[in-house]
Structures are given as structure tokens and as C-alpha cells.
Chains A and B, each alone.
Chain A
Amino acid sequence: MVSGTDPQTAALLEILHGVPDPEVPALDVVELGIVRKVELRPDGVVAVDVTPTYSGCPAMRTIEEEIVAALHAGGHEHVELRTVFSPAWTTDWLSDEAKAKLKAYGIAPPGRTDSEQALVPLTSTIRRAPCPYCGSSNTERRSEFGSTACKAIHYCHHCRQPFEEFKAL
């Protein structure tokens, strides 16, 4: 997550903290790591770098429009938005605070990414995500693909509740 080092940037970040992710409104676009950089240039233009979570994230255009709208509403008339791909977005950027918000919202937070894992591992190596409702680890992954690109579907055998996980990427 980017943080403000000077008052000007901090004020801009404060505005962007007010823009929730349309699909996971428990988190804002700064907490999610979609906003990579924001600065007020000497020419008065606010330059924002954003990075997509998934290549095909259908919410990306809405997110960009909402970022621009929030900055306009904050009195910044000229906004320049740039899409950057490097470094690639990862759930490892989510802070502990952001993960706690996800859990409170009913979405299991992501585990650490594991780039060493075999391409097609044996089933026994699949992570059991703790249930966000009852905390039990007696859960089962039903599918790594869920209602949005960033979520997987799990089932809790303890409280018998299906739940979603924000999957590690």
C-alpha cells in the first residue's frame, strides 16, 4: 500500500481512501494496492498510477472512473490516470488491517502466495482456508474460481456454511 510522505500526497491519498472497490466494498482502492502512486505535479495535474488486480477484471474501468470522480470532487480538476503492470499486483500487499476487514466482511483473507508450488500439485497440498464465520479449519475448497476473479469458493464443515476466500495471487 502506498503511503503519503508529504502533506500534499497524504491529502490525495485521503481522498482515494474514500473510493471503495465495487466488488469488495470492505476495502478501498488504496488498501487493495490498485493505486500504486499518486502525486500533484507542478503543472497542477494529479497523476495516478493504477494496476489491475486480474488482467480481465471487469471492475477496472468503473474503478478508474470513480478515482477520477473522487479527485474532481476533491477540487482537483486535472487528473491523469496511467495503467502500470510492473510490479504485478499481489495479495501479499494487503496489510493485516485490510485482511481483518475482509474477514469481518465475511471473506476469508488470502494466504501467502506460493510460487514454489508444483504446477499441478497433489490434492493433499491444497490449503484449508479458515472459515471467516466460525474460525474452524475443517473446511473444504470447492473451487478456485468464484463469483469474481479474485475469489475462491469454500465450504465449512463445522458451521455448514459456504464462504468465499480472497485468493492468493
Chain B
Amino acid sequence: MDPLFEYLLRLGDDRLILGHRLSEWCGHGPALEEDIALANVALDLIGQASHLLRLAGTVEGRGRDEDALAYFRDAIDYRNAQLVELPNGDFGHTIVRSFLFDAWSVLLLDKLQRSTHSELAGIAAKAHKEARYHVRHSGEWVIRLGDGTDESHRRAQNALDQLWPYTGELFASDDVDRALAAHAIAPDPPTLQPAWRGVVTDVIRRATLTLPTNGYMHSGARQGRHTEHLGHLLAEMQILARSHPGAKW
């Protein structure tokens, strides 16, 4: 397996799956502005995913485009982190998950825009600008919810406690990561952790929330071991393309 192909799937799948989750809020947002905001972020993420998966297909060289990779792979072949496939829960849960992801994504994309792989660098430079908007949006909401009412504080803290064990996977490193780091195509994931922790700690403190202690961390999704939730998500996301292969509208 080409490590670059594998890595591009991880990058693309993270954004495709989180984009799909956020799109589930369309028509259900707590306020019109938030409904629009979550749909906008979803659109950015799915756009980023389509560029990354198209590049993955080119690197693989077997004629698969972004649609083939998105709609005709099963859960075991998906490479997104478990964090992004978890159900949305309430608005606070959705926002805390997005913030933990966005704070990581913006730092990662900042490094990737200087990748030695010029096409990846170009896609990342564009995505990085969008990710700055995303982390500002989710970060501001974490502060509002955490430092809001007793109810919003309790919900945000619950979400943070439940999601924290899924953050370790973002910084795990395997042969794929090390191969790309050796060629300065991508940073080795653990190198991003101190900066991520800095951003997260600052926002959590301003939100008057309590940072969970690092205990057991879930892992395995980069190798295809997912929660039961991904299969259900894919069933909904893929049914149209699988029922009507090649359909255009």
C-alpha cells in the first residue's frame, strides 16, 4: 500500500465524515444563523474531502475518482478518526467535537501547506484559510456554552468528558505517518500535540470548563477499526449512489 494514498484517505475521510455529520444539522440548528453556519462548515469540509480524495485516486492510479472512493468503500476501508464518526448528540456535543477537531486540523493544515508534495500543499493552503474560520466559530461557541448557563456548562463539560478519549487517535503515529514525515510530505502526528493542547487548554479555561485527564484512548480507526456508528452513517450517505450507480442530476 502506497503510504501517500493511505495518508490522503485519512485526511479526506476525516473531512468527509465530519462534513456529513455537520450536514445532518441542516434544518435542525438551534438558530437560523447556526443552521447556516454548520451547513457552511460542512460544505467546506466536503469540498476539502473531494479535492483530497481526488488526489488520492490519482496517486492510487486505479481509475477511482473522489465519488468512487466516497460512495463505494465500506466502513472497514474508511480511514477517518473515530472522533468524527460519533453521532452529533446535542448542539454542545457537536460544537465541542468540532472544536477538538478544528484546533487540530488548523495546525495540521498549516504544516501541510508547506508540504514537499506541491498538490497536497496547494489543497492544504486553501483548506487552512477555511479552517481558521471553523476553529474561530467552534472555539467561540465552546466559550459561550461553557461560560453560559448551568445547563449549557453541564452539557459542554459532559461532551468534553465523553469526547476526550477519542482525541488520542489524532496524534498516534504509525508506519504511514513516519514514511511521509521522512520525506517532509506531512508532519509526524505527535509533533502537533503540544500546540493543540495549548489552543485547547486556553479555550477550555476561558470557557470555565475542566480539562479531562488523559486516560484510556480509543484507537484503530486509521487501520479500519471503527465504532458501530460509521456503518450507519455510510448506509445513509451511500445509498443513492449505490442504488443508482453512475446517476447524474
Contacts and interface: CB of A to CB of B under 8 A. Distances in A.
Interface of A: 52, 54-58, 84-90, 113, 117, 119-121, 123, 142-147, 149, 153, 167, 169
A147 B138 CA distance: 19
18 contacts: A54-B44, A55-B47, A55-B127, A55-B130, A56-B48, A58-B43, A85-B119, A86-B118, A117-B132, A119-B135, A119-B139, A120-B199, A121-B136, A143-B37, A146-B36, A146-B40, A147-B36, A153-B33
B221 interface: no
Contacts of B234: none
Q: Helix, strand, loop or mixed for chain A's interface? A: loop
B103 interface: yes
Nearest to B34: A143
B137 A56 contact: no
B45 interface: yes
A86 B51 CA distance: 13
Nearest to A167: B133
A89 to B, nearest CB: 7
B249 to A, nearest CB: 12
Contacts of A149: 40, 43-44
Nearest to A87: B125
Given A85-B122, A89-B126, A119 B36 contact: no
A120 B122 contact: no
B126 A85 contact: yes
Nearest to B40: A145
Given A85-B119, A119-B103, A146-B40, 14 more contacts: A55-B51, A56-B43, A58-B43, A85-B123, A113-B129, A119-B132, A119-B135, A119-B139, A120-B139, A142-B33, A143-B33, A143-B36, A145-B36, A147-B36
A169 B129 contact: yes
B36 to A, nearest CB: 5
Contacts of B96: none
Contacts, number: 93
Interface of B: 33-34, 36-37, 39-41, 43-48, 50-51, 103, 106, 113, 118-119, 121-123, 125-130, 132-133, 135-137, 139-140, 143, 199, 202-203
B44 A55 contact: yes
B126 A120 contact: no
Contacts of A56: 43-48, 50
Nearest 5 CB-CB pairs, A to B? A56-B47, A85-B122, A120-B139, A55-B47, A86-B122
Given A120-B135, A120-B199, A147-B36, A57 B47 contact: yes
B120 to A, nearest CB: 9
A103 B140 CA distance: 29
Contact of A52 (B39, B41, B46, B126): B126
A88 B109 CA distance: 13
Contacts of A146: 36, 40
A116 B218 CA distance: 34
Contact of B121 (A54, A57, A86, A167): A86
Nearest to B106: A119
A83 to B, nearest CB: 9
A161 to B, nearest CB: 17
A54 B33 contact: no
A144 B138 CA distance: 11
A120 B40 contact: no
A165 to B, nearest CB: 13
Given A55-B130, A120-B143, A120-B199, A144 B47 contact: no
